[in-house]
Amino acid sequence: MNTIIGMEVHCQLATKSKLFCGDSTTSKDAGPNINVCPTCLGFPGSKPKVNKRALDFGVMVALALNCKINANMFFSRKSYFYPDLSKNFQITQYEIPLAVSGYLEINNKKIRIRRVHIEEDPAKLNHVGGDITSAKYVLADYNRAGVPLLEIVTEPDFESPKEVREFLEKLSSILEHLEVYDSSWDAALRVDANISMEGSERIEIKNITGFRDTERALAHEVIRQRGILRMGMKIQRETRHFDAERRVTKSLRKKEFEEDYGYIFEPDLTKIEISKEWIEQLKKEMPELPDHRANRLVKEYGIDEYEAKVIIYTDKHLADFFEHSCKIYKNYKEVAKWMITYLLKSLNWHEISIRESKARPETFVELLEMIDKNVITERLAKEIIKDYIDTGKSPKQIVKEKGLEGFKSIDLDDVIKRVIDENTKAVSEYKSGREKALEYLIGKVLEKTKKAADPKKIREMILKSLQMI
């Protein structure tokens, strides 16, 4: 059974003010319902005014996604009744969106972009005492209402949840490089996924946040739908919710159709002309995009293509961190290796991004310089980088506080001789065929060297010493 997936990705645009009024878009430190006004609350007599910067951002994203930008566009009212819309309609685009017919390439496969349009974000609903299906009551915070939202709608070109995650990671990198969205904002990127088995009705999973959860939600839905079909039952068209804790989808309601929303032209806003001059000016302002940057890193720093793509597509700030580090430390391949293999691993362990951590290029390269100067071993550096991410202290400070200076030149022969002399029982056990005793002796040597020595070298030296006994 072939899987068919299409995506609707909603990105909050990082403008300073909302789409149709002057209220601030930043509500992280504001109390609920503070950044609101008659316009974004839809009070009678209030009139919307379009935020041009939001349109600029939308055009730049459309260009990055290889879309055809419509010369004229307008806004419409999408009517539906839900607590997150105080005026019972959303100002969006339907008949003529900002852009159409684009694509984004992942792994030599083109994912077609059907349309890109701009709309206002609804309010944030806080479900108290449960989730969307079981909450005792719901609180509405309208700080988010009216924040510019860019919706990117794909064709159903995805064949697996893994492809979807790769697409989202690359799309997020493009948005970050364009500086049109801030990934640290709450739910800055949200996904509605449409998924079906070939020949069956499609299911929509609403408001998934996070790349990992999107992949998990779709993977669960693949299993659920295939199970239904194997039992000879039909899949009913509906909207579902993803429960991130239980990693399952739950039914919300029967799926609406576009005609149910009763779209009408927004009478308080005029048609907008997007001139060629406007587009050309924005092209000049656009920064370097991820694909071009990845190619440049390969040419400029001599790292391989895989390393460049990991650095670029993981996080724009990680790519900035890499380039800043390379200005200080000229062994670019070592910078890439340590960032991808050890720094990124520690960040993932703590579930934080490079921007959220206390790591800085100036202190990160200290670690590499200490290895070069024989102050510490690579083995010890791998341990230090964990403390570095955990505490934010510089590697030099960590080495000094733990008394690890000079361990590169430690006399391993002497340490191994002492360990063998102090652990005669383990030596006898190894001689009698118990392999675990060797691991015990290696552990004792690592303990005495504060994990500074190379375990592989320790093993070789212990075995050599034991053969002489």
Query: Which residue segments constitute the domains of the chain, with CATH numbers given?
Result: 3-281 (no CATH), 288-408 (no CATH), 410-467 (1.10.10.410)
d(CA 241, CA 194): 12
How do residues 380-430 score in pLDDT, each as one tens digit? 888 899 889 988 899 999 888 877 665 554 567 778 888 888 888 888 887
Among 263, 265, 333, residue whose Cα is nearest residue 302: 333
More confident residue, 9 or 252: 9
pLDDT at 439: 87
Mean pLDDT for the chain overall: 90
Q: How far is CA 65 from CA 50, 181, 352, 466, in A?
A: 23, 15, 28, 64
Q: Give the list of residues 6+ apart from residue 438 with CB closer than 8 angstroms, or none.
A: 430, 459, 462, 463
Q: How far is CA 397 from CA 394, 403, 448, in A?
A: 5, 10, 21
pLDDT at 411: 65
pLDDT at 1: 80
Q: Taking the model in full, what pTM does it have? A: 0.84
d(CA 148, CA 20): 8
How do residues 142-181 score in pLDDT, each as one tens digit? 999 999 999 999 999 999 999 999 999 999 999 999 999 9
d(CA 183, CA 371): 34
